[in-house]
Amino acid sequence: MSKDWKEFKLCELFPKIERGTRLTKFDREDGTVPLVTAGYQNEGVAGFISNDSQEIYGKTITIDMFCNVFYRDYNFCCDDNILVISDYKYGQNIGLFLATIISKDKFRFAYGRQYRKKDYLKHVIKLPIDELGAPDWKYMNDYIQELQEREKESDDSLANSLVTNNTKPLASILVNSWEEFALDELFSIQYGINMELNSMTETSKNDPTGIAFVARTSENNGVVSYVKKVEGKEPQPAETITVAGGGSVLSTFVQNRPFYSGRDLYLLIPKNQMDLYTKLFICTLIKQNKYKYSYGRQANKTLKNLLIKLPTDHNGKPNYTFMKSYMMSLPYADRIIQ
């Protein structure tokens, strides 16, 4: 087992990279080849095309303009926001290992500082080494293989509990397409009660009378403290979705107990019946838009117009049945307390 790690320049490990070809939405021709563009959601796959102008790649690593990194074990084409390592030859396990290591540096990049070829040429990563000081490819392969075997064992142990949830197979639930919806089409968006923590009496999470205090943070489900109930102020109910309009903008959570809210916090009240699993599904999609905001660009005025893509049924309505079933099909979904 490797114990030592050493720094390597990416361009020395893989000297050949290619940049994808620019292709606007209007120029895309429907087809079967995945089109990869910049983004983390759905591994950046924006659709399926048949354009002859696009080169086909496969079984290699891609890096997008935000330093989102994926190993792709399938044929794909990509636009000009993607760098493709064209001389990669080590297979899936090592590709997954490398993708994880490379993406550790994604915090350095954003719209204002995009990852391009010049960044690749000076990008340094640390890898485990063998006794000769070379990258220990066998160790990387074996490490990922062991993780996959552990995951399979975990999936097997959870199979019975997932069945008891009466989860329908995803393939049996029709998703006609994915469509964009503005948040105010799905929810009544209300401003929280805007309380100040420094004017309240703090207590502990274990206090049975304690009320969670939710603020504009991305950590701990947004909960920054627990407080005593304030006379004349009713806590907001559990299973309410909270969204930070300022601070850590678009930090979105389903609150699992009654709570008070601080400043710049919004509450999403479903316009149609929505269970906990569906709310969690939608929270994930809302948070995918965090890159659009910062302390200098808050979501207070634009939140209601925020667009998210949801799976739809034949009537073009959000397919809440699919969302619930998808969430219930995930490992450890039975641990979600409803």
91 and 219 share one domain: no
Render pLDDT for 82-103 as a digit per residue (tens, 0 to 9).
999 999 999 999 999 999 999 9
78 in a structural domain: yes
- Domain limits at 211? 177-335
Q: Mean pLDDT over all residues of the chain? A: 87
Question: Who has greater pLDDT, 135 or 205?
Answer: 135
191 and 319 share one domain: yes
Tallying the residues shown for the chain, one arrives at 338
The yes-or-no verdict on residue 337 having pLDDT over 70 is: no
Render pLDDT for 48-59 as a digit per residue (tens, 0 to 9).
899 988 999 999
Render pLDDT for 13-64 as a digit per residue (tens, 0 to 9).
999 999 999 998 888 898 889 999 998 877 888 888 999 889 999 999 999 9
**Among the three residues 116, 140, 164, which one is the final residue of a domain in this structure?**
140
The CATH number of whichever domain residue 17 belongs to comes to 3.90.220.20
85 and 187 share one domain: no
116 and 256 share one domain: no
Distance (Å, whole) CA 182 – CA 199: 36
Which amino acid does the sequence have at 1? M
Cα dihedral value 276, 279, 280, 283, nearest 10: -160
Render pLDDT for 165-192 as a digit per residue (tens, 0 to 9).
444 444 444 556 789 999 999 999 999 9
Q: Please count the CA atoms within 13 angstroms of the CA of 28 that sit on its side-chain side.
A: 19
Render pLDDT for 302-313 as a digit per residue (tens, 0 to 9).
899 999 999 988
256 and 124 share one domain: no
DSSP 8-state symbol, 333: G
Phi, psi of 57 (to 5 degrees): -120, 175
Q: Are 204 and 210 in contact (CB under 8 A)?
A: yes
Among the listed residues 177, 154, 263, the one whose alpha carbon sits nearest the alpha carbon of residue 214: 263
For tokens 């994604």, the residue is: 106
Q: What is the pLDDT of residue 35?
A: 93
Render pLDDT for 236-245 as a digit per residue (tens, 0 to 9).
999 999 999 9
The yes-or-no verdict on residue 231 having pLDDT over 60 is: yes
71 in a structural domain: yes
